Amino acid sequence: MKLLPAIERHARCAFRVLDAEARDDAVAEVLANAVCAYQRLHERNELQRAFATTLAKFAIKSYWSGRRCGTSQCSHDVFSSQAKQVAAYEVRTLGTPGELSTEWSQCLVDNRLTSVPNQVAFRMDFPRWLRGLSLRDRNIAERLSLGYSTKEVAAEFGMSSGRVSQLRREFSYSWYKFIRVNRCLSGEPKSKPGRASRPG
């Protein structure tokens, strides 16, 4: 649809007061709403009424009034714009964008297998443990924690699979030692490292 760039410009101007994340969501919603409105005009053979300004104003007004394209609004849904307007709150991501920039931290965003306390502990401990490694070892450890195979990591870093396996064992020992020291410092009871304690 040739009108979309102009509609997007109108939307970005209308939502300039919002923060970057909310603005991007609002612009995407306006574009979707404008496409739906364009489709309705096409079905009624009224495309002569399809102007970028008109479609943009309609979609922006719909957005501000809480009407969304293709989704029903539930006032009990914490992500619902209707609920956010009524209760006057906003939803933000945990941590700073910098903390969520690494692949391994993205794996935790929608992880329902690991308990929340363990996820929080891991988010705090794993970056601190990584900082104790050399840059090369840090990159290798991150790759291994993401589930890359020994062969894949060896090829990426130009070393033998045997050396990567050796590093994996060294990382494992180093990680468990790091966790035990932290537990002692925090006064937690000593226990054998379990599945939830492992990096990745």
Q: In this predicted structure, which of 45-49, 56-60, 121-125, 191-195 has the lowest mean pLDDT?
A: 191-195
Distances (CA, A) of 156 to 57, 96, 149, 184: 51, 29, 11, 37
Question: Where residue 157 falls among pLDDT bands split at 50, 70, 90?
Answer: very high
| More confident call, 195 vs 159 | 159
Q: pLDDT digit string (tens) for 27-61?
A: 998 898 889 888 888 888 888 888 888 888 888 88
* Rounded-to-integer distance, Cα 199 and Cα 114, Å: 12
CATH architecture observed for domain 103-197 = Orthogonal Bundle (1.10)
Is the C-alpha dihedral spanning 177, 179, 180, 184 positive or negative? positive
Distance (Å) of CA 97 to CA 12, 21, 130, 148, 171: 22, 11, 18, 24, 27
Q: Which residue has the higher pLDDT, 49 or 165?
A: 165
pLDDT, mean over the chain? 77
Give the separation between CA 34 and CA 43, rounded to whole angstroms. Answer: 14
* Contact status, residue 20 vs residue 43, Cβ threshold 8 Å: no
Which has more confidence, 93 or 22?
22
The Cα 177–Cα 171 span in angstroms is 10
Count Cβ neighbours within 10 Å for each residue of 183-192 and write b for 16 or more, e otherwise.
Answer: eeeeeeeeee
Please give the average per-residue pLDDT across 104-130, as a whole number.
74
Given a contact cutoff of 8 angstroms between Cβ atoms, the answer to whether 33 and 63 are in contact is: yes
Whole-number pLDDT of residue 97: 43
**Cα of 85 vs its chain's centroid, Å:** 23
Residues 6+ apart with CB under 8 A from 152: 143
Q: Tell me the average pLDDT across 75-84.
A: 58
Q: Where are the domains of the chain?
A: 4-87, 103-197
For 125-148, what is the mean pLDDT? 89
Which DSSP category does 189 fall into?
Answer: P
Residue 185: per-residue pLDDT: 64
pLDDT of res. 96: 45
* Pairwise pLDDT comparison (193 vs 23), residue with the higher score: 23
pTM: 0.42
